[in-house]
């Protein structure tokens, strides 16, 4: 199996071991699941399904970031308890993912459950002189990690620009370097707080994920990922933290990132308020039609959502022109050998998880009258989670 490698810009082989560990960055639960979330988690669901199909025991972790600036700000604005807000939104998210056939992860840790482990990790980074404390806040010293920036490939000025856009506060006067990032911070009076060697406070965003990944999966993690917007600063900072703590290097063997879903000419995001919610779409379209729609976009592609496209594909699907049957394009023929279909599915998924190619093959094969080929189509639908 080969997946795109962020650092080299090429496809690189993923060694499928008897036990595979997969960590996918989860939601910050302050609003309902939108289509961008669904695109990421459906794609990673196919990855996990395929690794299990290949015989691996997959330990899959997807966290909940319940201690974060965004959720605390939203709870404050709405006048609700942050914990209650998180629980409510996680329930909505889970129902939406269940409806789309996304297999529940092996572990779904909440950041608040790992605060003692996070404090221990921060203490170790301070002891290693990779971090420093100012006025109750602990910062990671980016200068201590000469490899910082190798995942994203960004120059310093662009990293500072993105840090400012994504909550990194490069203007903070307590920092030695604008790129230094928070490991532990003082809590405001209305925020959750834990006792620590640096006074009462709460963890930073990046240290939450690297700590949960290391505690639950060990190091190295086989595959770690999420949306492309997490490459910097989140995943870049996770690497810096984890690889300056005791443990085998690298922190992650392979990084996997899904493309950005746009809507109304902008990235679909909570901050921009241009979201299309999964629960709304499921009132108008079947779960299998929506899942197939997402899988017809390659996981690395950036794409724009237009409901007309979904409506057209859902109609074709209902008329037997999608995965359920027919669907021959110009010059395409119905496969005549079930082994040809099986090997074609494997080749598509082995080749950078090419779900669009896998679906095109199933569309062709579904037109066969041969029961053996139809049985392989059913196997393929199950493998892609389209038997919901």
All domains of the chain in start order, with CATH = 16-267 (3.40.50.620), 306-383 (no CATH)
Closest-CA residue to 182 (of 233, 116, 228, 144) = 233
* Cα three-residue angle 11-13-19, rounded to 5 degrees: 135
Pairwise pLDDT comparison (268 vs 280), residue with the higher score? 280
The percent of residues in the chain predicted with pLDDT above 70, rounded, is 96
Q: What is the pLDDT of residue 179?
A: 98
Q: What is the pLDDT of residue 27?
A: 94
Q: Are strands 261-263 and 131-134 parallel, antiparallel or unpaired?
A: unpaired
| CA distances (Å), origin 173, targets 79, 115, 163, 176 | 31, 26, 15, 8
Q: What is the mean pLDDT of residues 310-325?
A: 71
Gyration radius from the chain CA atoms: 22
Residue range 16-41, pLDDT digits in tens: 999 999 999 999 999 778 999 999 99
Q: Quote the CA–CA distance of 242 and 146 in Å, as a whole number.
A: 14
CB atoms within 10 A of CB 328: 14
Give the list of residues 6+ apart from residue 23 with CB closer than 8 angstroms, or none.
Answer: 60, 61, 62, 63, 209, 212, 213, 216, 217, 221, 223, 224, 225, 252
Residue range 109-120, pLDDT digits in tens: 999 999 999 999
Whose tokens are 């922190």? That residue is 251
Q: Quote the CA–CA distance of 184 and 194 in Å, as a whole number.
A: 10
* Cα three-residue angle 356-55-324, rounded to 5 degrees: 35
Q: What is the pLDDT of residue 274?
A: 77
Position 10 pLDDT exceeds 60: yes
Q: What's the mean per-residue pLDDT of the chain?
A: 94
Position 326 pLDDT exceeds 50: no
Position 361 pLDDT exceeds 50: yes
Q: What is the pLDDT of residue 273?
A: 73
Position 319 pLDDT exceeds 60: yes
Which range (134-143, 247-256, 330-339) has the least confidence? 330-339
Which range (105-119, 201-215, 268-282) has the least confidence? 268-282
Position 270 pLDDT exceeds 60: yes
Q: What is the pLDDT of residue 317?
A: 74
- pLDDT band of 324, cuts 50, 70, 90: very low
Q: What is the mean pLDDT of residues 301-330?
A: 76
Q: What is the mean pLDDT of residues 284-308?
A: 96
User: What six digits make up the tokens of 206?
Assistant: 């990046």
**3-state SS, one letter per residue, for the chain:** CEEEECCCCEEEECCCCCEEEEEECCCCCCCCCEHHHHHHHHHHHHHHHHHHHCCCEEEEEECECCCCHHHHHHHHHHCCCHHHHHHHHHHHHHHHHHHCCCCCCCECCEHHHHHHHHHHHHHHHHHCCCEEEECCEEEECHHHCCCCCCCCCCCHHHHHHHHHHCCCCCCCCCCCCCCCEEEEEECCCCCCCECCCCCCEEECHHHHHHHHHHHHHCCCEEEEEEEHHHHHHHHHHHHHHHCCCCCCCCCEEEEEEECCEEECCEECCCCCCCCCEHHHHCCCCCHHHHHHHHHCCCCCCCEECCHHHHHHHHHHHHCCCCCCCCCCCCCCCCCCCHHHHHHHHHHHHHECCCHHHHHHHHHHHCCCCCHHHHHHHHHHHHHCCCCC
Position 325 pLDDT exceeds 50: no
Please state whether 212 falls in left (phi above 0), alpha (psi between -120 and 50) or beta: alpha
Q: What is the pLDDT of residue 267?
A: 80
Q: What is the pLDDT of residue 250?
A: 96
Q: What is the pLDDT of residue 320?
A: 59
Q: What is the mean pLDDT of residues 112-130?
A: 98
Pairwise pLDDT comparison (202 vs 323), residue with the higher score? 202
């Amino acid at each position: 199996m080969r997946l795109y490698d962020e650092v080299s810009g090429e496809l690189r082989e993923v060694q499928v071991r008897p036990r595979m560990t997969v960590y996918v960055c989860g939601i910050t639960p302050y609003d309902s699941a939108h289509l961008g979330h669904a695109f990421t988690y459906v794609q990673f669901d196919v990855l996990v399904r395929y690794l299990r199909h290949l015989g691996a025991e997959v330990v899959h972790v997807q966290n909940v970031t319940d201690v974060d600036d965004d959720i605390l700000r939203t709870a404050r604005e709405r006048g609700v308890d942050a914990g209650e807000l998180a629980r409510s939104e996680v329930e909505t998210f889970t129902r939406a993912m269940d409806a789309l056939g996304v297999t529940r992860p092996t572990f779904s840790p909440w950041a608040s459950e790992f605060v003692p482990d996070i404090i221990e990790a921060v203490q170790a980074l301070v002891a290693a002189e990779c971090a420093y404390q100012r006025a109750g806040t602990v910062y990671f010293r980016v200068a201590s990690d000469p490899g910082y920036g190798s995942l994203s490939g960004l120059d310093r000025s662009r990293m500072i620009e993105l840090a400012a856009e994504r909550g990194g506060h490069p203007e903070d006067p307590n920092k030695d370097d604008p790129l230094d990032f928070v490991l532990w911070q003082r809590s405001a009076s209305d925020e959750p707080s834990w006792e620590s060697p640096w006074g009462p406070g709460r963890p930073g965003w990046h240290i939450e994920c690297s700590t949960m990944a290391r505690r639950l999966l060990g190091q190295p993690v086989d595959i770690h990922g999420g949306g492309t917007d997490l490459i910097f600063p989140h995943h870049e900072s996770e690497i810096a933290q984890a690889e300056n703590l005791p443990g085998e290097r690298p922190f992650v063997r392979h990084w996997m990132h899904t493309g950005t879903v746009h809507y109304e000419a902008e990235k679909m995001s909570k901050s921009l308020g241009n979201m299309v919610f999964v629960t709304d779409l499921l009132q108008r379209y079947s779960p299998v039609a929506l899942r197939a729609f997402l899988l017809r976009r390659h996981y690395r592609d950036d794409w724009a959502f237009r409901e007309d496209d979904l409506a057209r594909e859902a109609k074709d699907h209902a008329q037997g022109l999608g995965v359920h049957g027919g669907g021959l394009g110009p010059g395409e023929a119905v496969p005549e050998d079930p082994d040809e279909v099986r090997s074609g599915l494997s080749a598509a998924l082995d080749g950078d998880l090419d779900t669009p190619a896998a679906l095109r093959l199933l569309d062709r094969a579904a037109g066969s009258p041969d029961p053996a080929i139809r049985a392989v189509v059913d196997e393929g639908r199950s493998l892609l989670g389209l038997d919901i």
